[in-house]
Amino acid sequence: MEALFEACGPLLLKRDYPLSRVSFVGTRGRVAFLCMPRNVDAMVNLLAEIEKSGYPYVVFGLSSNILWGDGFFHGVAVSTRLMSEIEVSDGLVVCDAGVRLSRLVKFCAERGLAGAEQLWGIPGTVGAAAVMNAGAFGREFGEFVEAVECWVDGVRVLLRRDELEFGYRDSNLRGKVVLKLWLRFAKGEIDLKKLSELSRIRKQKFPGGRTLGSVFKNPFPFYAGRLIEEAGLKGYSVGRVEVSSRHANFIVSSPGAGAAEYANLISLVKRRVFESRGILLREEIVYAGSFLEG
């Protein structure tokens, strides 16, 4: 299997890797191989070789909204975090999928480009933000996307604006591997005081510590956090994970907690809300790896 990686180009390779090192909430799981391509071409070569081999794989950015299982994943975890090129070309910001959202906002601020500052403070990469159409304070990432280069069914494809579909915490990029993005921002100064204010609001509104952010999508016209609170679950715990007492749509994990406890609490919350209001909550987070221990 290791020979598969040799001709892929520059990448960082780790064997039998503990997923607790990439998880935001901890997990007891491990993965056979962790790969971090250093550029888009290396990623494309890697994906082609993995798919040719038939080996299972998961592509992720910073893993800020992924619940990794507690079992051993006999596959490849591929991180985009070393794919970090960003530049301005023909009036568009062109960036690799692994560029962090915080770096994108700073990059725009330094060049007199405005619009994305509401996304300040969201952990994650631009690739993941495009796939899930991340948003905050009334803005969504999809508003800025002009084109996306991605890996689809073994082919490198460029999707332009009229081929892209963005919805609430969703897009037609799901199931595809985002490689590079072209983003359009308006000319204008970013108020650095506004960034500080947004950071202050986020710290007041959302819990810190080990979380995956908002666990559930809001089932409009309702808010998931309010429904969970009405079901009497604010502060409720299962083992070493609990529904946040600050914001009920967040689950906070204590050191030593595993993915099974997190998943069990998610299931309990969904069941209680359905029993009390007849509304089935759907996860905003995603699951990856193996949930079979042993």
Write the CATH number for 52: 3.30.43.10
Q: What is the mean pLDDT of residues 141-167?
A: 96
Domain boundary among 50, 79, 108: 79
3-state SS, residue 173: coil
Residue 293: inside a domain: no
Query: Do residues 115 and 170 share a domain?
Result: yes
CATH number at residue 250: 3.90.78.10
Hey, which residues are catalytic here? 169, 214, 284
Does some domain include residue 115? yes
Domain end position, chosen among 157, 187, 217: 187
Same domain, yes or no: 165 and 96: yes
User: What does the H/E/C string look like for 227-256?
Assistant: HHHHCCCCCCEECCEEECCCCCCCEEECCC
- Residue 235 is predicted with a pLDDT of 96
How does DSSP classify residue 189?
A: -
Q: Which residues form the domain of 124? A: 86-187
pLDDT mean over 270-276:
98
Model pLDDT, residue 276: 96
The residue from 156, 187, 218 where one domain ends is 187
Give domain status of residue 65, yes or no. yes
Q: What is the band of 96 on the pLDDT scale with cuts at 50, 70, 90?
A: very high
pLDDT-derived band of residue 1, with 50, 70 and 90 as boundaries?
low
90 and 131 fall within a common domain: yes
CATH of the domain at 122: 3.30.465.10
User: Residue 24: enclosing H or E segment and its boundaries?
Assistant: none
Residue 115 contacts residue 144 (beta carbons within 8 Å): yes
Domain count, the chain: 3
Backbone torsions φ then ψ of 75, nearest 5 degrees: -160, -155
Is there a domain that residue 198 lies in?
no
pLDDT above 60 (res 110): yes
To 10 degrees, what angle do helices 192-205 and 101-110 make? 160
Alpha carbon distances (Å) from 283 to 104, 164, 170, 220, 287? 27, 22, 11, 14, 10
Q: Rounded CA gap, 150 and 158, in Å? A: 6
Supply the pTM of this predicted model.
0.91
Q: Are 199 and 164 in contact (CB under 8 A)?
A: no
Residue showing tokens 């971090």: 36
| Residue showing tokens 């490689």 | 179
Check residue 7 and give its pLDDT: 73
pLDDT digits (tens, 9 = 90+) for 43-89: 999 999 999 999 999 999 999 999 999 999 999 999 999 999 999 99
Instruction: For residues 72 and 111, state if they share a domain.
Output: no
Give how far Cα 3 sits from Cα of 6, 17, 50, 190, 276, Å: 5, 18, 11, 48, 54
Q: Within a domain: residue 202?
A: no
